[in-house]
Chain A
């Protein structure tokens, strides 16, 4: 069965209300722009979104906040989004903060069949509340759970038709872990190539983790902080 889909909307078939959706990207870098737009247009509600950030007001996951399709957000940093602030303070939106490295590891663990792991991150802080503490070699660690999503939505630079993925520069970020942690992983890519064209030694995510692929019709790749030097 081919993994290639015609559009983002077609590739999201089966997404329902109240699902957990893992979304790749860091800030606006490497986010699945077309999938987020298609998710908005599908009208599904009550979503739990797991992503390092929540986009900005009018781009990225911010689009789904504007339409109130997200019930709960699990993230490490949401400081760039005023809509988020408003909905969180009014109690419309649930929020769970997770340290960035813990979030990456929770996705990695979920995708790797590991239900939990111990980490020193967050010991003695609000993050540790209600979590098991265990001492290894004289140091305290807290138990964190692996995460699995009903869907994982990610973006890659290139894919072959089997779903082997190659990322570009820092657009890789959370995507390799997110891709492993979706029961159904959907990837939008800049270019689809035939199998055999990608060097097996240079593949970042093996195709077994990817169920659906489509070519992004366009990508804005918006820059949050354009900073340049003059000479």
Chain B
């Protein structure tokens, strides 16, 4: 039941418009790049200092000086630029990045997000996530709707340490597409083709209102 990881990414790719500069996080967000048509003029930003990121290199083109924020070897497209970390986060914090897509462990109806730390377990660090959620013009979360034991990850209030407050615009899960209605709940816009709106509402801890034009997801 619900979407695959690739389908979540495919649905999020519909949010990307021509001319956008986009930062994609690790995990499902990275898959979004596979569904952005070549004809669309989109520049992918990698916060370690690359705008215009291309696909993984052929073996003969691997360059240890050219990596992405996940430390993977990548390529640079025509029109790409390299820059310092300060310039990179000037782009991010300064509101010059049109869209960021990130994974999350929890989101809530205030637009808060938690995705960097589970107390008592090993703490890896927030990397650039706090800057991205604070600075990108639009923040979309890609995540599973529920945890492995079935608990909702769309909450009234996040329980884990926050990455940012009031910064999430939209959540795309394996169950549906929901917008944050700050302080009130989530607005359900689309649901997975093999599910119903009622099933999504039942799987969500926070209140959910169904948008007047809500519908099953189309690809």
CB-based nearest A residue for B114: A125
Roughly how many angstroms separate A107 CA and B86 CA in the complex, as a whole number? 9
Given A100-B85, A228-B59, check contact A124 B165 (CB 8 Å).
Answer: yes
Known: A172-B83, A223-B64, A225-B70. A120 touches B135 (CB 8 A): yes
| Residue pair A26, B125 in contact (C-beta under 8 Å) | no
How many pairs, one residue from A and one from B, have CB atoms within 8 Å of each other in the complex? 176
For chain B residues 33-81, which have a beta carbon within 8 Å of chain A? Answer: 46-50, 55-59, 62-68, 70-74, 76
A79 touches B124 (CB 8 A): yes
Residues of B within 8 A of A85 (CB): 122
| A229 and B165 within 8 A (CB) | no
Q: Which residues 158-196 of A have a CB within 8 angstroms of B?
A: 167-177
A226 touches B86 (CB 8 A): no
| Chain A neighbourhood of B50, CB < 8 A | 169-170
Residue pair A172, B161 in contact (C-beta under 8 Å): no
Which chain B residues border A170 with CB–CB below 8 Å? Answer: 46, 48-50, 65-68, 82
B162 interfacial contact with A, CB 8 Å: yes
A89-117 residues at the B interface, CB under 8 angstroms: 89, 95, 97, 99-105, 107-108
Shortest Cβ gap from A57 to chain B (Å): 14
A127 lies within 8 A of chain B by Cβ: yes
Question: Does the CB pair A29–B93 fall under 8 Å?
Answer: no
A77/B127 in contact, CB under 8 A: yes
Q: Does chain A have a CB within 8 A of B84?
A: yes
User: Chain A contacts of B83 at CB under 8 A?
Assistant: 172
Interface residues of B in 141-189 (CB under 8 A from A): 161-166
Chain B residues with CB under 8 Å of A224's CB are 67, 71-72
Q: Does B217 contact A (CB under 8 A)?
A: no
Cβ–Cβ contact A228 & B58, under 8 A:
yes
Range, interface on chain B? 35 or more
The answer to the question of A63 belonging to the interface, with a C-beta cut-off of 8 Å to chain B, is: no
Cα distance, A100 to B163, chains bound together (Å):
13
Chain B residue nearest to A171 (CB atoms) is: B65
Q: Are B55 and A229 in contact, CB atoms less than 8 angstroms apart?
A: yes
Indicate if B191 sits at the interface (CB-CB under 8 A).
Answer: no
In the complex, how many angstroms separate the beta carbon of A124 from the nearest chain B beta carbon? 3
Q: How far is the CB of A26 from chain B (nearest CB, A)?
A: 4
Tell me whether A100 and B47 are in contact in the complex, defined as CB-CB below 8 angstroms, given that A173-B85, A228-B59 are known contacts: yes
Which residue of B64, B84, B93 is within 8 Å of A174 (Cβ)?
B84
Complex CA distance for A176 and B65, rounded to whole angstroms:
15
Known contacts A52-B85, A121-B134: A173-B125 contact under CB 8 Å? no
**Could you list 23 A-B pairs, sorted by A, with CB under 8 Å?**
A26-B49, A26-B85, A29-B64, A29-B71, A77-B127, A78-B125, A97-B125, A100-B127, A101-B128, A104-B86, A121-B131, A121-B135, A124-B112, A126-B117, A127-B130, A157-B65, A170-B48, A172-B83, A176-B86, A177-B84, A223-B62, A223-B73, A225-B72
Besides A99-B129, A173-B49, 11 more A-B contacts (Cβ < 8 Å) are A29-B48, A29-B65, A99-B130, A100-B85, A104-B88, A104-B89, A122-B130, A174-B84, A221-B65, A225-B71, A227-B72
Sort A-B residue pairs by CB-CB distance and give the 9 closest, nearest first.
Answer: A101-B89, A79-B124, A124-B165, A101-B131, A104-B85, A77-B125, A221-B64, A224-B71, A100-B128
